[in-house]
Amino acid sequence: MSTYIDPLHPNRHAPYDDIPRDVRDFLNYLGAILNRSPRTVNGYYIDLRTFFRFMARYRGLAPDKEFDEIDITGLDLEFIGSITTSDIYEYLYFLKNERLNEPAARARKLSAIKSLFRFLTVKSNRLHDDPAKDVSVPATKRALPKYLSLEESMELLKNIQSDFYERDYCIVVLFLNCGMRLVELVGINLDDFKEDTIRIVGKGNKERLVYLNQACIHALQNYCDARAKLKNLKDKNALFVSQRTGKRISARRVEQIVERCLKSAGLSGKGYSPHKLRHTAATLMYRHGNVDMLELKEILGHEHVSTTEIYTHINTEKLRTAASSTPLSRVEFTQQKKLPTEQNSAQAISQDDADNDIVAEVPELFDDLEPADHLGQK
């Protein structure tokens, strides 16, 4: 089983009963104490399950088993405590060379291991030594976010093809204007609205207010009028519902809606997704709305402004203006000056020789300063 998350109910998951007991305690700590979302906890579960399956195979405990069939429920605290730093490096090597994981994926999986051992050593005092403490995170190349241009965004809004047009148009408008995450949009309830704001529950169940502009308000009004006419409405408080079942729409269904709209706008095959629409909203706010980093951080629900700062690198117009701002940018090409005549050349050579004589004497002037130079190199 690869995941316990119910796509129709992203806040639910079944017991994690195919992993070691101490790892399950760690996941419960993430959810109950640190208030991490079920989706986040599920990500830790998948990464740690892969790690312990590797360790069982690496230690020779499952020689004849397919990797995904390795039973790790019997791995106790003594086994976990025997894991060394060298074992973790072997695992990272396995991820790179057998699983062909990119640096970002390896860094994420190492982060899960580090968090587990920090819990076992610091939070619950079950282990004394932390083998992951000094393992360096694989260096990752921070790619610039992919986003739609203003013209592409307008083209997308003009080409919404759907059997529930008002809903799907509203979904795209909210993505492009509010910069919310996919799971945030799916989880919106009617009682989250107050005047021109929506209460959004983001990562770590942290709440923030998102302000609605006129485009969002009009799209919501049109959709709510169409939603009220549904005869089979089941989830009465869910904002976005299925026309067929009347229940809250799933995250996967929203992805399909966005994919179809992108295709009808001629924008498919370019790597765009609901999350790229979030990047688009942030980019348009930064480039065209004069929104500063702290404001953008609050709008997007980032915990650290360093996460938001990546959008400072995508304002190509500012870069173009900066390149043109130097006074040398307006210097025009000129033809090479004519070479000197033979007589002038002889004089120039003679002068060069004289200059060389002067240069040859210069080091003597600085002989006494050499010890001072060495003092400055401590």
In tens, the pLDDT along 132-149 reads 999 988 776 666 667 788
In-domain check, residue 37: yes
260 catalytic residue (yes or no)? no
Annotated active-site residue in 118, 146, 203, 253 = 203
203 catalytic residue (yes or no)? yes
Q: Is residue 157 domain-shared with residue 261, that is, in the same domain?
A: yes
Annotated active-site residue in 36, 106, 278, 287 = 278
In-domain check, residue 356: no
313 catalytic residue (yes or no)? no
181 catalytic residue (yes or no)? yes
Q: Is residue 187 domain-shared with residue 264, that is, in the same domain?
A: yes
Annotated active-site residue in 181, 227, 248, 279 = 181
The domain total for the chain is 2
CATH of the domain at 234: 1.10.443.10
Q: How far apart are CA 90 and CA 83, in angstroms?
A: 11
In-domain check, residue 81: yes
Provide block-wise average pLDDT over 10 residues at a time, the chain (378 residues): 49 75 94 85 94 95 90 95 96 94 91 96 95 86 72 88 92 87 90 88 78 90 94 93 93 90 84 79 72 64 61 57 61 66 55 47 42 43
Instruction: Give residues with Cβ within 8 angstroms of 296, minimum separation 6.
Output: 282, 285, 286, 308, 311
Task: Give tens-digit pLDDT for 88-111.
Answer: 999 999 999 999 998 889 999 999
Question: 137 — alpha (psi -120 to 50), left (phi > 0) or beta?
Answer: beta
218 catalytic residue (yes or no)? no
165 catalytic residue (yes or no)? no
Q: Is residue 109 domain-shared with residue 196, that is, in the same domain?
A: no
Q: Is residue 67 domain-shared with residue 174, that is, in the same domain?
A: no
In-domain check, residue 267: yes
